[in-house]
Chain A
Amino acid sequence: MEWRIFYLAFLPGFSSIIRRVSGEFAKMHFLKLILRNTLRHKLRTGLTVLGLMVAILAFGLLRTVVDAWYAGAEGASSARLVTRNAISLVFPLPINYQERIRRIQGVTAISHASWFGGVYVTPKNFFPQFAVDAKTYFNLYPEYLIPPAELKAFLTDRKGCVIGRKLASTYGFKIGDTIPLRGTIYPGSWSFTVRAIYDGAEAGTDTSQFFFHWDYLNETMKKAVARRTDWIGVYVIEISDPDRAAEISTEVDAMFRNSLAETLTETEKAFQLGFVSMTEAIVVAIRIVSFLVIFIILAVMANTMAMTARERIAEYATLKALGFGPRFLAGLIYGESLAIALAGAMTGILLTFPVADRFSEQVGTLFPVFGVSLETVYMQAAAAIAVGLAAAILPAYRAARVSIVEGLRSIG
């Protein structure tokens, strides 16, 4: 074939076309190159993606555990106050405070609840039980959705109880079932009939609780230990204006200062956060560990990219000789690192949901609210991108810096 054809066909003005088309030279080709590079060492890429998947999954689960820890406080209302004994929660308050608190201006409703602490079959089956003022309690908690007929059935049965949907499904309780409890604080064997099952108005509503009539508890105690009658655990107060929470709290506490049972009143949210802060060390530990797993996978990922880039130094030198700039090479390495990281993140995030569901089933009512939040998913994606970028820094720097002559020599 006559090679001059090449000239006849293409030469006119050809050299003038050879100019860098900065920024947007054939993006398709760039992505294709990245993709093919990624698939070059299938075993290595596969192992790295697997590692990332496990790490992102673990990260997501740990963050979800932390969220679950705070779920109680998250679901708490700032329009409700909780009044407890100032000494500590284990000390009760007299029932006659109820009328006095109700008369305070700004208080729209009041009810009370007492921690029962009973054991269902074995201590492992933990769920919270409260003896409540049946007539008023559920008015204060509109987020507990109870069918009116069932609520009525509960109110008319002295030994009836109301249980949450999650509790019911964990132990298979149905309306009409009898639930036996062994008292720890209130000794003896107790049994209650399920009269109502409540659903949560929101995803964050705790539906693992068990409520029964305080009147029944009180009457029983009257016969057994007379000294322990007419005491309740905490008062729950509904106020008309959340902005007046601090003012009303102070007023309640002032009312009972220097009495036999001094009170401490705070918003329901602060009350719940108080619980969380007692186990803060555990939450902090889980948080630290959740970031450690990211560092571990960063080490693995950085290693993969370092090895990959080292093996391709001669190719990078060739591309440079052909006129491709350092930015192109850095782009190839960052692109590959990000592609691997995102593949790991995607599978990890997708797996988080079913695994969290399984975990939630396993722990039952220990974590009343256990769901993967959108924020967790964002954090997972952000962590993966950070790992992808960080792992590429050193290899990209090296590739951009490599001298063509040195790089070409490292072949073979």
Chain B
Amino acid sequence: MENLSEPIVQIRQLTKSYHRGEQLVPVLTNISFDIFSGEFIALMGPSGSGKSTLLNLIAGIDKPDSGSLKVSGIDIATLSEADLADWRAANVGFIFQFYNLMPVLTAFENVELPLLLTRLSRNQRRERVELALSMVGLTDRMEHYPSELSGGQQQRVAIARAFITDPVILVADEPTGDLDRASANDILAMLERLNSEMGKTIIMVTHDPHAAKSAHSIRHLEKGELDVTN
């Protein structure tokens, strides 16, 4: 287990803007904060507050204009495109609002997908995938295609895919945004278990206060700035 005194994510003076036509629109200005190992953080804020952008930056699928962004000691803002891809494969688990499963792959194959980037043998992969799917309660749905699963079931496959590689952080962008209340509660309970039982660091973007309650702490973003009243 990591040393609790050392933050796993260390963000300093992070700034990001987008070009909208001729105009430069600032999205994040001078953000600095830390996330410690084992934390479960909810990022909240109105549309356009920059919460998704911040999540994308932490997950290494977007690049900041300036500032530093260290995850387990590595400044990912300086990594090349290819190194970043390797880094993501090893360190980040993704959970999306619309699940983003490959429609041509079965539940089993979708969860197995990230393991194809590892040296694991076929049998090792199968053992892990079967266990992961049993953990999310989908043992009997392994050979089903996403189109044959409900929204909640699809999101559970996505969660299994996210933690199968044992990533350092899990990022979830509106994981319950497309689900009914009951399914949403299921998903939140699983995220809580990932956090409490496996000690996963989770960063979740949501605009649903009910979902945010699952988190240890809530960070509010307003017009690209962190509201530190919390």
Chains A and B touch each other in the complex, with CB atoms below 8 Å apart: yes
* Interface of A toward B, CB cutoff 8 Å: 1-7, 9-11, 14-15, 17-21, 25-26, 29, 33, 36-37, 40, 314-315, 318-326, 403-405, 408, 411-412
Of B92, B113, B128, B132, the most chain A CB neighbours within 10 A belong to B113
A265→B113 CA distance, assembly (Å): 74
The interface on chain B, measured as residues whose beta carbon lies within 8 A of the other chain's beta carbons, has a size of 45
Q: Which of B96, B109, B197 contacts A2 (CB 8 A)?
A: B197
Q: Does B193 make an interface contact (CB < 8 A)?
A: yes
Q: Which residues on A sit within 8 Å (CB–CB) of B114? A: 322-323
Residue of A nearest to B134 (CB): A1
Minimum C-beta distance from A386 to chain B (A)? 27
A102→B135 CA distance, assembly (Å): 98
Interface SS of B by simple majority: helix
Q: Does B56 make an interface contact (CB < 8 A)?
A: yes
A19→B118 CA distance, assembly (Å): 6
Q: Are B62 and A405 closer than 8 Å at their CB atoms?
A: yes
| A4 and B131 contact, Cβ closer than 8 Å, known pairs A17-B119, A324-B85, A408-B100 | no
Q: Are A40 and B103 closer than 8 Å at their CB atoms?
A: yes
Minimum C-beta distance from B40 to chain A (A)? 15
Q: Does B79 make an interface contact (CB < 8 A)?
A: no
Of A7, A15, A40, A321, the most chain B CB neighbours within 10 A belong to A321
Q: Which of A318, A404, A412 contacts B62 (CB 8 A)?
A: A404
CB-CB contacts of B118-132 with A at 8 A, as 1s and 0s?
111000000110011
Q: Can you name 5 A-B residue pairings with CB atoms under 8 Å?
A: A2-B197, A18-B90, A20-B86, A25-B116, A321-B92
Q: Does B102 make an interface contact (CB < 8 A)?
A: yes
Number of residue pairs A-B, CB distance < 8 angstroms:
113
Q: Which of B85, B100, B135 contacts A315 (CB 8 A)?
A: B100
Minimum C-beta distance from A137 to chain B (A)? 68
A1→B87 CA distance, assembly (Å): 31
Of A3, A25, A29, the most chain B CB neighbours within 10 A belong to A3
Minimum C-beta distance from A4 to chain B (A)? 6
Q: Does B74 make an interface contact (CB < 8 A)?
A: no
Q: Which of A3, A17, A36 contacts B104 (CB 8 A)?
A: A36
Residue of A nearest to B52 (CB): A405
Q: Which residues on B sit within 8 Å (CB–CB) of A1? A: 134-135
Q: Which of B105, B117, B135 contacts A25 (CB 8 A)?
A: B117
Q: Are A3 and B193 closer than 8 Å at their CB atoms?
A: yes
| A6 and B131 contact, Cβ closer than 8 Å, known pairs A21-B118, A321-B88 | yes
Q: Are A26 and B116 closer than 8 Å at their CB atoms?
A: yes
Q: Which of A19, A325, A412 contacts B98 (CB 8 A)?
A: A412
Of B100, B117, B194, the most chain A CB neighbours within 10 A belong to B117
Q: Which residues on A sit within 8 Å (CB–CB) of B105? A: 33, 36
Q: Are A20 and B117 closer than 8 Å at their CB atoms?
A: yes
